[in-house]
Amino acid sequence: MKSLPSLKVREGRESYDKRGDTLRTAEINRKTNETDIKIKLNIDGKGVRNINTGVGFFDHMLDLFAKHGMFDLDVECMGDVYIDAHHTVEDVGIALGDAFRMALGDKRGINRYGSFYMPMDETLSLIAVDLGGRNYLHFEAALPSPMLGTMASELVKEFFFGFSRALNCNLHIKLIHGENTHHIAESFFKGCARALDIATQIDPRLEGAIPSTKGVI
C-alpha cells in the first residue's frame, strides 16, 4: 500500500530580473516509501536544467521539456527503479505539476491557454493546455514499441496524468501521425513544454487581472 507522501513546499518569493519582471519559482520536496524527489523550478528561466531521475530515457525527456519551455529546472529523484520505473516517472510528474501550480500562484495576468503542433521527423502531435483550474487529461496515442530504454512506453501517459492532476490543468495530447515510439514521446514532451510556455506567459493587456470571467481560476 502506497504511503501518504511527505510534501514540503517553498513558494518562490517575488524577485525581479533586469527587466523588472516578477520571477515565478517553486521548490518541492516530496518523499514516500517509493521515491524521494527534489525539484526547483523557475518558470521565467532560460532553459537551464539539471536532471537526474535514475531513468535514462525519462531524463532525456525532462531535459527536452525544460530546454524547449525555457524553464530553469532541477530534478533529483531517488526511486525504487530496481522494481521498475513506474513510481519514479509517476511521482516526478506529480511533483513537477505541484511545482508549476505553486510557482504560478493565483495566475494573475497569464495567457492561461496554450497549444502547439510539434513535428518530429515522421511524427506530428498536437498539445493543448488550459490552466483554468480544472484537471483533465485526454491522451490519444498508440505507442508502437513497449519499451523506451528501461522505461515502459505506457509510463508516458502516466507522467502526463500525474502532472495534469497536480497542476490542476486541462491537458490534451493527440498523436496526428507517427511511427517511431521515441519520436512520438519526444514530440509530446517538447509540445507540452511549448504549450505551457505560451500559457504561462504574462499578457500585459490583462494588467494583472485573473484570466476568467469567474474572477478566480
Q: What is the average pLDDT across 212-217? A: 90
pTM for the full predicted model: 0.91
Could you tell me how many helices (H) and strands (E) the chain has, helices first? Answer: 4, 11
Of residues 173 and 17, more confidently modeled: 173
Rounded (to 5) percent helix, strand, coil in the chain: 30, 30, 35
Domain ranges in the chain are 6-206
Q: Assign 96 a pLDDT band (cuts: 50, 70, 90).
A: very high
pLDDT tens per residue, range 10-39? 544 333 333 335 689 999 999 999 999 999
SS3 41: strand
Q: What is the average pLDDT across 60-84? A: 98
Q: How far apart are CA 30 and CA 142, in angstroms?
A: 31
Cα angle vertex 112, ends 185, 165, to 5°?
55
SS3 211: coil
Q: Which helix (H) or strand (E) holds 137?
A: strand 136-140
Q: Assign 6 a pLDDT band (cuts: 50, 70, 90).
A: low
The CATH class of the 6-206 domain is alpha beta
Determine the pLDDT at residue 185: 98
